[in-house]
Structure 1
């Protein structure tokens, strides 16, 4: 499984509509509106790196209202929770 945190800026006045559109994209498990440098944070969970690349470059950047993204690819998880079972995609 490939996990990533995607930091997103939107066009002015587009935070809520973009968040709602992103939440419908396969591979995006959560979308948070935030305060600060970025408007939204999306959590991506995909089968492999190629699927993540397609999600970010093909699907996410095509969402109307997205102006800029920065993807942080997760390398290791540091948690007491069994995140793999909590967010399993069933593959």
Structure 2
């Protein structure tokens, strides 16, 4: 599974509609509106890089109100939950 993080700039008047249209795309698992340098952050989880090439320029960039995207592909995931799970393998907790 490949995870991509897409930073998205939108026209202010289309932010809500663009967010929902992007969230409805196959391969997009989450969309966050946020403060800061970008308007939306979309998380993609797909089987291969070709799907990212289809989703970002082929679909997200064509959503009305999307002005710009910046895509980042994740190599590895780190989280407290993953670490705790790794250390608890084989241990019984009563």
Q: TM-score range by the shorter chain?
A: 0.7 to 0.9
User: Whose radius of gyration is greater, 1 or 2?
Assistant: 2
Structure-2-length-normalised TM-score? 0.82
In the TM superposition, residue 81 of structure 1 has moved relative to its aligned partner by: 3.7
Normalising to structure 1: TM-score of the pair? 0.84
String of CA shifts for 1:26-77, please: whole Å, max 9, x gaps. Answer: 0100000000110000000111111111111111111111000000110111
**Runs (5+) with no aligned partner, structure 1:** 83-91
> 1:74 maps to which residue?
74
CA RMSD of aligned residues (A): 1.1
1:46 aligned partner: 46
Aligned to 1:87: none
Unmatched tracts of structure 2, length 5 or more: 83-94
What residue number does 1:89 align with? none
Aligned residues: 82
